Structure 1
């Protein structure tokens, strides 16, 4: 279960409690935030929705949390629910295929992994000031918002004004892809750097790391096909950090769209690239070694990372070449 799916599950539990009269709340939240537990918490994720609903419901937050706990325990994909502190709900997810689950989901969805309807039913109007960085930001935000189900309209006279710190120079002297990255990677309130550091092919360049990692995943798939085997999800030792960033990707897309922050997606892609790179040397058999289940599982994990990188770059309007 992804964080986005868990958020929907909690919200569904809230709605059922209201519909069945256990909670008397007039205005329900549009979505529920789930995040890794803080100090004193436990499990995989936690939410403070009970504290948010306590006053409108006229009940103590702990009582609200217990009402929701009983419903969440009956939900598919949830193993345990613990209430801590003043009313935090801590959720442990069921195994659901263990670490293989997120990989299967990425491979099923491909580059659209993380797309959903978290912002479904919303209409967002955007307006860019007459400046190149603002225009590029609006283009990226339009794709991000639509990936989460929002209807987006771009208007020169009305809407949310997108006004990032302007670019100090023409970014497209670097080329379309590097120029866009230079404008989108920094937070909107930070001054972008328009220099040749975005073109160098070395580890110091985040864009190079992302595109290199994507190209390597495609090369591994080609080489594996030549050796007669393909990706097959399975356990992979030492891949916890990569599995975590893949599982977290849907939440990052929702946050980037909700907060109008494409830089969050750019940083997520760098995290995926940095997490998958150490896997590469162990994906293909060496010497006379025969392809094994471990090789197929590593290849599936690399394939999933490549799909996330390609999908994320596409949302930013940047090409993800198979050869670099």
Structure 2
């Protein structure tokens, strides 16, 4: 992880804190990260908490604590410490990408589920309008995935622009995507375009990207390349197309790293559309990355290919898990 990568990671943590309502500030355009000074701890440090303290109406130590909680599990970050009046100090992991891929592979489709909302009880009123019923049921699933005790029998309501649920015409998957992809306060998507296999169709892109991940595993096995991300593996090697692989892998790693936070924010804000949009971003990154995964021409399989295949496999796992939370299937072939 470079200082620029770390700066973006801290900036994403600020955005998450703002999205979660933990901080009420304007997200800055950037975050300054520099080498830790003598007497500090870790390798890098940032004064972002001191910068945000006054506009947030909080102490710098409070802000630093809020950001530290959102940086503990960030890819590439080994430890986060608070020093002095509120400086954030970072120690970095040697194999951040590998840690993330292994975490996804270990958790499977439940990657991003957690206990952040454990002890929270949420009871929704029984909705009668079709879209409200679908959104509410999906939010219940999201809340439970974060440890909340969620169900019916209460008074909370999710207000939506009404929309018809039409699985007989569209099929279950397209009918659900049409109502869940748009924010609850926006009109549902038109159903018929979701049946067209075209890049403008977000549902198609997500499901196609998942199917490509599955096909890469099959093709890799035929070439003798199996997914693996050992500590010595890298996305870089001396193969002919490696100059593009690290850049495209970075966008995909960012998407996978953000997935747990997106699921939590979607649950807290009662917004399944956040998950759908996030899956589209992961799908786009995977489709751009797929061409760098396996050996081309007379290339010999290498550790980099095994690592890239493991990343593609992890991306497919996240896509399938995200679709499952939305109640949508992930076919191996399209």
- Asked if TM exceeds 0.5, the reply is yes
Matching residue of 2:324: 314
Tell me which residue corresponds to 1:100: 98
Equivalent in the alignment of 1:17: none
Count the aligned residue pairs. Answer: 289
- 8 Å contact from structure 1 (residues 82, 91) kept in 2: yes
**1:276-295 superposed matches below 5 A:** 276-295=286-305
Q: Which residue of 2 aligns with 1:109?
A: 107
Instruction: State the Cα RMSD in Å.
Output: 3.9
2:37 alignment counterpart = none
CA contact (8 A) 2:130 2:164 kept: no
d(CA) in 2 for partners of 1:286, 1:62: 52
Aligned counterpart, 2:170: 174
- Which residue is equivalent to 2:32? 42
SS at match of 1:161: coil
Distance in structure 2 (CA, Å) of the matches to 1:268 and 1:67: 26
Q: Specify the alignment match of 1:14 in structure 2.
A: none
In structure 1, what is the equivalent of residue 264 of structure 2?
A: 254
Deviations 1:208-234 (A, max 9, x none): 000000000011111112222211124
Which residue does 2:42 correspond to in 1?
none
| Equivalent residue, structure 2, for 1:235 | 234
Which segment drifts farther, 166-175 or 117-126?
166-175
Contact 1:79 1:94 in 2 (8 A): no
> Which residue of 1 is the match for residue 156 of structure 2?
160
Match in the other structure for 2:79: 78
Map 1:120-135 to 2 at 5 A: 120-135=118-133
2:151 match: secondary structure: strand
TM-score scaled by structure 1? 0.76
Q: Secondary structure at the match of 2:96?
A: coil
The corresponding residue for 1:16 is: none
Seen in structure 2, the aligned counterparts of structure 1 residues 254 and 91 have a Cα distance that, compared at 3 Å, is farther
Segments of 5+ residues of structure 1 without an aligned counterpart are 8-29
Q: In the aligned structure 1, how far is the partner of 2:65 from the partner of 2:333? A: 54
2:193 to 197, 204, 207: 197
- Once the two structures are superposed, residues 49-78 of structure 1 have per-residue CA deviations (whole angstroms, 9 ceiling, x without a partner) of x959x98xxxx82466789999xxx99922
Structure 2 CA distance for aligned equivalents of residues 89 and 301 of structure 1: 33
Deviations along 1:271-324, whole A, 9 cap, x unmatched?
Answer: 000111111122222233321111111101101110110000000000011111
Question: What residue number does 1:323 align with?
Answer: 333
Per the TM alignment, residue 250 of structure 1 is displaced from its structure 2 partner at its CA by: 0.6
Kept in 2, the 8 Å contact 1:115–1:250? The answer is: yes
Higher mean C-alpha displacement, 134-143 vs 311-320: 134-143
CA separation of 1:294 and 1:184: change in aligned 2, threshold 3 A: same
Q: Please say if residues 168 and 194 of structure 1, whose CA atoms lie closer than 8 Å, have aligned partners that are also in contact.
A: no
Structure 2 length as normaliser, TM-score? Answer: 0.74
Q: 2:174–2:191: 8 Å Cα contact kept in structure 1?
A: no
Instruction: Mark the runs of 5 or more structure 2 residues left unpaired by the alignment.
Output: 1-8, 14-19, 34-44, 236-245
Cα 1:88–1:173 change in 2 (3 A) is farther
| Partner-residue secondary structure (3-state), 1:117 | coil
